[in-house]
Amino acid sequence: MALREIVTLPSSVLRRKARKVTAFGPELQTLIDDMVETMRLAPGVGLAAPQVDEPLRVIVVEFGSEEDEEAPKKLFTLVNPEITRPSEEMTVATEACLSIPGYVGDVERHEAVTVKALNRYGKPQRVKAEGWLARIFQHEIDHLDGVLYIDRAEKVWKLEEADAQVVPAD
């Protein structure tokens, strides 16, 4: 595994629509392993392939339980993910992005979503998520369409150094 450089604004790859994955060979496996390592080191709770300069529809997410901080974190690898069944209920929370260092913003998202995707070997999977996990999925899948949280934010502001660890970044 190897670390990849996380690209930041104004890199144009962050604004492109990423391509669907059609090959599940060694190149994809290496990309996914590298993305997981890069996300963990950042540290972040999610990473989309365009953030490491690969315009492909791949995201990785690793997030623990909101209720139980001791619970082990769960790793999700989603290829060609699509949101199905977004909840009518919406919720606003403060987001950050590894590709927009130093800023945070309040973003309205669906409280719950189901995500239809393939796993790293091309097998179909379906994940139900609510709360922060649902928010992370929506943030990451937006990246695949060249959409950033600042496009949706009601308010964006510069983060003070002291608050830098408050908001999980993806």
| Interface contacts to Zn ion, rule CB under 5 A | 97, 170
Tokens of 101: 């260092």
| Closer CB to Zn ion, 123 or 159, in the complex | 159
Note if 140 is an active site residue.
yes
Q: How far is the CB of 110 from Zn ion (least distance, A)?
A: 17
Residue 31, number of CB atoms within 10 A of its CB: 19
Q: What is the dihedral of CA 113, 29, 6, 84, to 10 degrees?
A: -10
Distance CA 83, CA 66 (A): 21
Q: Which position's Cβ is nearest Zn ion?
A: 97
Q: How far is the CB of 156 from Zn ion (least distance, A)?
A: 13
Catalytic site residue from 88, 140, 154, 160: 140
Residue 73 main-chain phi, psi, to 5 deg: -70, 150
Tokens of 66: 């909101």
Q: How far is the CB of 8 from Zn ion (least distance, A)?
A: 10
Task: Name the residues annotated as catalytic.
Answer: 140
